[in-house]
C-alpha cells in the first residue's frame, strides 16, 4: 500500500534536490523542494504519494491553506 500524504509544504524554498517525504504530527508529509527545514505545512485529504508527485507544480495549485474559507468551496450553492 502506498503512503498517504496528509500534509503538503507550501513554503517557498530553493530546490534542494529530490522531493522529500517526512513525518509531521504523526502523519506523512510531502515537500516538493526537498528542503530540510523551514516548512509551511498545510493539511490535505489523505492522498497517495504517487498522486501528489504526479501533479503539475507538485500539487501547489491544488491545495489550499488552513486559513482559507474551505467551507465556501464545498458548500452547496444558494437557492
The Cα 32–Cα 13 span in angstroms is 9
- Per-domain residue ranges for the chain? 4-66
Each residue's pLDDT tens digit, 6-57:
999 988 887 777 888 989 999 999 998 888 888 999 999 999 988 888 865 5
pTM score? 0.64
Question: What is the predicted pLDDT for the residue at 35?
Answer: 86
DSSP-derived 3-state class of residue 40: coil
Amino acid at each position: 500500500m502506498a503512503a498517504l500524504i496528509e500534509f503538503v509544504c507550501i513554503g517557498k524554498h530553493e530546490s534542494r534536490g529530490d522531493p522529500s517525504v517526512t513525518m509531521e504530527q504523526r502523519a506523512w508529509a510531502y515537500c516538493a523542494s526537498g528542503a530540510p527545514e523551514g516548512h509551511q505545512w498545510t493539511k490535505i485529504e489523505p492522498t497517495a504519494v504517487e498522486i501528489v508527485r504526479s501533479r503539475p507544480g507538485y500539487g501547489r495549485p491544488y491545495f489550499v491553506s488552513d486559513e482559507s474559507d474551505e467551507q465556501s468551496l464545498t458548500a452547496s450553492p444558494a437557492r
